[in-house]
Amino acid sequence: MRRSSAALSMVRMSSLVRFRLGGDVLLTDENGVSDISGADFAQAFVDEIETPTHTG
């Protein structure tokens, strides 16, 4: 499942190869945490270049 979203913080952790779309809404987990790994952020960035879904 590959979807992109902005996270509140980028953390040093292994890639989960999954992330969620949030648009302009900050997404958090059940504990209020909003993290993304550097590898997952990079993948979301490349996905957006290859298949643009955000315009404006």
Q: What is the pLDDT of residues 1-50, one digit of tens each?
A: 444 455 666 667 776 666 676 777 888 889 988 888 888 888 888 888 99
* pTM tops 0.75, yes or no: no
Backbone conformation region of residue 19, classed left if phi is above 0, alpha if psi is from -120 to 50, else beta? beta
Q: Which H or E element spans position 40?
A: helix 38-50
**Top-confidence residue, 56 or 54:** 54
pLDDT at 16: 62
Provide, for the chain, the percentages of residues in helix, strand and coil under a 3-state DSSP scheme, each rounded to the nearest 5. Answer: 25, 10, 65
What integer pLDDT is reported at residue 17 of this predicted model? 62
> What pLDDT score was predicted for residue 50?
93
CB of 47 closer than 8 Å to CB of 32? no
